[in-house]
Amino acid sequence: MPSYIQQIRRIPKPGKSESVLQHSIEGLKSLNRRGNVNFTVSASGESEGAITTDIPVSSASDLELFHDAFRNSPDSLKAFDEIAEECAKVELQIYRVVEPGVQPDGGAKYNARNIFVAKRGEVGNVIETLRELRNAFETVTPLITVPVGGNADTVRAVVQLSSIEQLEQWFEEVASDKFKEYRDRIGGLTIHRFVEVNRVEYRSQG
């Protein structure tokens, strides 16, 4: 089970989406590590059509070794900067894994990132409610993470999906009467929820 996820989130400049996508895939392949590259297919302006690389790591020490190796590799630094030149924005974020997700058979083709912003002092209750939801779902088992740095009131629940049809099934399950209590609890504990649907273009088992 991974302990952390290093995320690289890139917003391509106009006309550079495919180039950034392919170079991001090449970058992940060069690491010989587990991970995936995905791009946004449905979201509002908060997402800005992102191309995201997610790299799971097994421990804090492994994460530090990953950073050390990157900083000590001129080729990696050069490749990173070359991709950045084609981007309007590049963001780095570390996420701590609270609960692992479960991949569908054959691997995920899509994912749905649910970003919750808790009311001040309620992030712990949001996490516990999402844990209960995670165990109650029949269609999916979400990954639950919190950021290391950034907005400390944020919690993510990432759903790995085999198809758009499974996404539809999960939406229907969330909207069912069975989960009304959970929806009400989450609504009372948070000030914002944002959902972003992404297509997984490439994944590696390392």
> What pLDDT does residue 46 have?
63
206 has pLDDT over 90? no
Whether residue 136 contacts residue 182, with contact meaning beta carbons closer than 8 Å, is answered with yes
> What pLDDT does residue 49 have?
82
> What pLDDT does residue 1 have?
63
> What pLDDT does residue 131 have?
97
Residues 144-164, mean pLDDT to the nearest whole number: 96
Question: Tokens in use for 132?
Answer: 């209960």
Q: Residues 123-151: pLDDT tens digits? A: 999 999 999 999 999 999 999 999 999 99
47 has pLDDT over 70? no
Residues 165-179, mean pLDDT to the nearest whole number: 95
pLDDT category at 56 given cuts 50, 70, 90 is very high
Q: Residues 68-86: pLDDT tens digits? A: 999 999 999 999 999 999 9
